Amino acid sequence: MNSAADLHTLTGAYAADALDDAERARFEEHLALCPSCDQEVRELTATVARLALASAVTPRPALKDEVLRRIGTVRQDVPEVRRETAAVPGPAPRRTRGVYRWALAACVAAAVGLGGTAVWQHQQAEDARDQARQAREQSSRRSQELAAVLAAPDAKTRTGGLTDGARGTVVASKSLDKAVFIAAGMAPPPKGKVYQLWFDDSGSMRSAGLMDPDRTAATVLMRGGIGKATGMGITVEPAGGSDEPTSSPVALMELPT
């Protein structure tokens, strides 16, 4: 492929980085002397870049076959060349060349998009696996901490009655600075609400986590250290919890000492 006419047909392949080293070297020598090809390469490169931004959208299943079929049936037109560069037949109409340039760029971008979508889907799967692993590790840590409080040599227990005949037990370990709340027979909270636990720091309530609204019996590792807390309480709060109590407590208990 040595003639100027042949080199003019490589603008699309050059923009798509589809030339081998020898073809690229010959075309770049030609490109330095051909303003028409230089302009077309810049337009094709910019078009491919814009179209490739949509690569995160999942393509139609038949798109790949359609693109490959159309590539095999479309012939690139020879671009307009100035007479001092090479003597070739008259240029194709500007409108025809413009339409073709967009068609070629769309085909290249679609091929890039198929690869980009696969990368995006792979990354989504990796992120989901990381989140699942982190959730398992966090659950395992909390289970180990809960078991450590219940088995602590200095663990102390206090049991009391809650509302509607429910029972609650607090297990506290001063050496671990942790407490566990065990509930049995609690009525489900109202729809859209959740039970929230609190440490009572001499009348100031500090959030100690949420209970599972779908369980009437639960063993919960209270969030945060006991610190100077002398008691704990339970309130009904909006789903997700509150920074401070928004309702009267359904239970108040002293921490075991």
Q: Is 251 helix (H, G, I), strand (E, B) or coil?
A: strand
CB–CB of 187/234 below 8 Å?
no
pLDDT at 55: 46
Q: What pLDDT does 227 receive?
A: 92
Rounded Cα–Cα distance for residues 142 and 148 (Å): 10
pLDDT of 3 reads: 57
Compute the radius of gyration of the chain from its Cα atoms. Answer: 35
Q: What secondary structure does DSSP assign to 147-198, as a single string? A: HHHHH-TT-EEEEEE-GGG-EEEEEEETTTTEEEEEEESPPPPPTTEEEEEE
Taking each continuous run of H as one helix and of E as one strand, the counts in the chain are 6, 8
Task: Return the bridge partners of 253, or none.
Answer: 232
- Domain regions of the chain by residue span: 4-123, 156-254
* pLDDT value, residue 101: 58
Task: Indicate the pTM of the whole model.
Answer: 0.48
The token pair at 115 is 């690869």
| CA distances in angstroms from 34 to 37, 152, 170, 244, listed in the order given | 6, 83, 84, 73
Q: Please, are residues 220 and 211 in contact by the beta-carbon 8 Å criterion?
A: yes
Tens digit of pLDDT per residue, the chain (257 long)? 455 557 778 887 777 777 788 888 888 888 888 888 888 877 777 665 555 554 455 666 676 677 667 666 665 555 555 554 444 444 544 444 555 555 666 665 555 555 555 555 556 666 667 777 776 776 677 778 888 888 889 999 998 888 778 888 999 999 999 999 988 888 889 999 999 999 999 889 999 999 988 877 788 899 999 999 999 999 999 999 999 999 998 888 899 87
- Indicate if the alpha-carbon torsion angle 118, 120, 126, 128 is positive or negative: negative
The terminus-to-terminus CA distance of the chain in angstroms comes to: 92
Q: Which amino acid appears at position 132 of this protein?
A: A
